Chain A
Amino acid sequence: MQTFDLEAQGLRNLNSALHAQSANTNQTVWEVINPKGSHAIAVGLDAPIEVNVRGHTGYYCGGMNKQATINVAGSAGPGVAENMMSGTVVIEGDASQYAGATGRGGTLVIKGNASSRCGISMKGIDIIVHGNIGHMSAFMAQSGNMVVCGDAGDALGDSLYEARLFVRGSVKSLGADCIEKEMRPEHIALLTELLEKGGCDAKPEEFKRYGSARKLYNFNIDNAY
């Protein structure tokens, strides 16, 4: 295992060392100590390596991730796993606003609560939150799945496209064009898989599914070119 002291060695050195890893690297497990809320920790990785961050992170941790598994033993600042392509990011604590924003693939697991705008404009990522999520989450979400074991804040799924939202607790309010939908066997099967992936012990039957009513401008065939 490689141990990297972020305070002593610096952010650019960390990210260049991680970017230098290829699919065949022998240095498959990295530990980052003294993160102290630094920004842009382990961004833009593209190798099947594991990075364990021991502490809280600042803005954009794990952004644009491909292939790598990033574990944060703490809470994450704004924009964690933003635009993730593949791989896994796990936050042991809470995540600040716009976690997993625009993510195209991979899995983001937040074991605490996520703040506002979680999964905003998500495009294929799976986001699994053990706690609650804040207001305007999944705004303009296009595809992918969001699982919330706790409650959702105001305006969930506003202007939603085709992402699937599963919430176990209460939803403070639904955003424009977001409605509760029937939970069919295929959704239970999908949710079972997602809960397992996220390490949640919740039962899929306890959740409600929310999705797009498909009534907004873009869904109206008369507006097509």
Chain B
Amino acid sequence: MCGIVGLFLKDKALEPKLGEMLTDMLITMTDRGPDSAGIAIYGADTKGKAKLVVQSDFPEEDFPGLDAAMAASLGGPVSIRVNDTHAVLEMGSELLDVARSRLNEVNPRVRMMSRGETLEIYKEVGLPKDVAARFDIAQMSGSHGIGHTRMATESAVTTMGAHPFNTGADQCLVHNGSLSNHASLRRKLRRQGVHIETENDTEVGAAYLTWRMMNGATLGEALESSLDDLDGFFTFVVGTKDGFGVVRDPIACKPAVLAETDQYVAFGSEYRALVNLPGIEHARVWEPEPATVYFWGHKGAPTAHEKAA
């Protein structure tokens, strides 16, 4: 199993409540995934700045002085905001590309959760309610977000095995299902120089999308080709700076429900996850079609593109 929730706000008035609504949705999906939980929040954009969200199992030892050490290594100012086991390092956008490798040199025990201008990913082992509480997700605001509750099947229950996975700057992926060709694909991608940290199947799916986009594909094209190149079961929800997308494998045995009103588009593995959203009684509620890539963005019109068989 596994539970996915997602919320894309059309109504700006709801933005201060994004974290609260997503937390409620996430907790409803606890019995689909009690092992670990995570959330990706797309918050405010600070012009010229970018964020690296990092995690440590020893935050008291690793976070003090990390900003200064990173600033020295990168040659530019870096600020730090600690949130439990995670910390948000903010720096000039131009430093973001080299920041991960520098982080590894500065302190290899600190791991990167996400990078981007608006994206922040928080994830840990434990029940969704506990994970949401330790990071105080309910207080976060933003334009859209994705959450995941994991019931582990393919790899160990660890922080790095938790979803969402960062697939590129401001991009993330969550997955319900299991990929069966992840071992061979991991070897192939590593040979291409793609960084893959764990034995987790979803991380390979995320790395696959990263690799396709590094080679010029758009997210939509990468998702479409994933239908050919990934073997197994999946319902994916992806986040980008501008919006979120949904794609299910052609067999589509992993559940998915979408709801849309004038105020939002919401995704849930089950309708249960959506029941407390405002105006849900009058929302258009439907199941996304198999092998079809859906996308909602703040800038463009919504799209649904069925992949030719």
Which residues does A use to contact B, with CB under 8 Å?
Answer: 36-38, 55-56, 58-59, 75, 77-78, 93-94, 96-97, 115-116, 134-135, 154
Q: Interface 1/0s, chain B 248-292, versus A by CB < 8 A?
A: 001111010000000000000011111100000100011100100
The answer to whether B272 touches A96 (Cβ under 8 A) is no
The answer to whether B252 touches A75 (Cβ under 8 A) is no
Give Cα A75 to B253, complex, Å.
Answer: 18
Give Cα A37 to B283, complex, Å.
Answer: 14
The answer to whether A135 touches B290 (Cβ under 8 A) is yes
The answer to whether A97 touches B253 (Cβ under 8 A) is yes
User: Given A37-B275, A94-B287, A115-B287, does the pair A58, B270 have CB atoms closer than 8 Å?
Assistant: yes
Which residues does B use to contact A, with CB under 8 Å?
Answer: 250-253, 255, 270-275, 281, 285-287, 290, 309
User: Given A94-B287, A115-B287, does the pair A36, B255 have CB atoms closer than 8 Å?
Assistant: no
The answer to whether A36 touches B272 (Cβ under 8 A) is yes
CB distance from B267 to the nearest CB of A (A): 14
A-B contact pairs, 27 of them (CB 8 A): A36-B272, A36-B275, A37-B270, A37-B273, A37-B274, A37-B275, A38-B272, A56-B271, A58-B270, A58-B271, A59-B270, A75-B271, A77-B255, A77-B270, A77-B271, A94-B286, A94-B287, A97-B252, A97-B253, A97-B255, A116-B251, A116-B252, A116-B290, A134-B290, A135-B250, A135-B252, A154-B309
**Contact partners of A58 in chain B: CB under 8 A:** 270-272
Contact partner, B271, options A37, A115, A154, Cβ 8 Å: A37
CB distance from A60 to the nearest CB of B (A): 12
**Contact partners of B287 in chain A: CB under 8 A:** 94, 96, 115
**Contact partners of A59 in chain B: CB under 8 A:** 270
The answer to whether B272 touches A37 (Cβ under 8 A) is yes
**Contact partners of A94 in chain B: CB under 8 A:** 286-287
**Contact partners of A115 in chain B: CB under 8 A:** 252, 287
The answer to whether B285 touches A75 (Cβ under 8 A) is yes
Q: Give the nearest-CB partner of B309 in chain A.
A: A154
CB distance from A191 to the nearest CB of B (A): 28
Contact residues of A: prevailing secondary structure: loop
**Contact partners of B275 in chain A: CB under 8 A:** 36-37
**Contact partners of B309 in chain A: CB under 8 A:** 154
Q: Give the nearest-CB partner of A173 in chain B.
A: B309
- Which 6 A-B pairs have CB atoms at the shortest separation, nearest pair first? A37-B271, A37-B272, A36-B275, A56-B271, A115-B287, A116-B252
Give Cα A77 to B285, complex, Å.
Answer: 12
**Contact partners of B272 in chain A: CB under 8 A:** 36-38, 58
Contact partner, A96, options B250, B255, B274, B281, Cβ 8 Å: B255
CB distance from B158 to the nearest CB of A (A): 29
Q: Give the nearest-CB partner of B276 in chain A.
A: A36
CB distance from A116 to the nearest CB of B (A): 6
Q: Which of B250, B251, B275, B281 has the most CB of A within 10 A?
A: B275
**Contact partners of B273 in chain A: CB under 8 A:** 37
Give Cα A115 to B287, complex, Å.
Answer: 8
Give Cα A58 to B273, complex, Å.
Answer: 11
Q: Give the nearest-CB partner of A153 in chain B.
A: B290
**Contact partners of A38 in chain B: CB under 8 A:** 272
CB distance from A7 to the nearest CB of B (A): 9
Give Cα A56 to B283, complex, Å.
Answer: 12
CB distance from A21 to the nearest CB of B (A): 27
**Contact partners of B285 in chain A: CB under 8 A:** 56, 75, 93
Give Cα A201 to B270, complex, Å.
Answer: 32
CB distance from A5 to the nearest CB of B (A): 14
Give Cα A94 to B286, complex, Å.
Answer: 8
Q: Give the nearest-CB partner of B254 in chain A.
A: A97
CB distance from B260 to the nearest CB of A (A): 14
**Contact partners of B290 in chain A: CB under 8 A:** 116, 134-135
Q: Give the nearest-CB partner of A34 in chain B.
A: B275
**Contact partners of B255 in chain A: CB under 8 A:** 77-78, 96-97
Give Cα A154 to B253, complex, Å.
Answer: 15
Q: Give the nearest-CB partner of B286 in chain A.
A: A94
Give Cα A134 to B250, complex, Å.
Answer: 11
**Contact partners of B274 in chain A: CB under 8 A:** 37
CB distance from B113 to the nearest CB of A (A): 31
**Contact partners of A135 in chain B: CB under 8 A:** 250, 252, 290
Q: Give the nearest-CB partner of B273 in chain A.
A: A37
Q: Give the nearest-CB partner of A38 in chain B.
A: B272
**Contact partners of A134 in chain B: CB under 8 A:** 252, 290
**Contact partners of A116 in chain B: CB under 8 A:** 251-253, 290
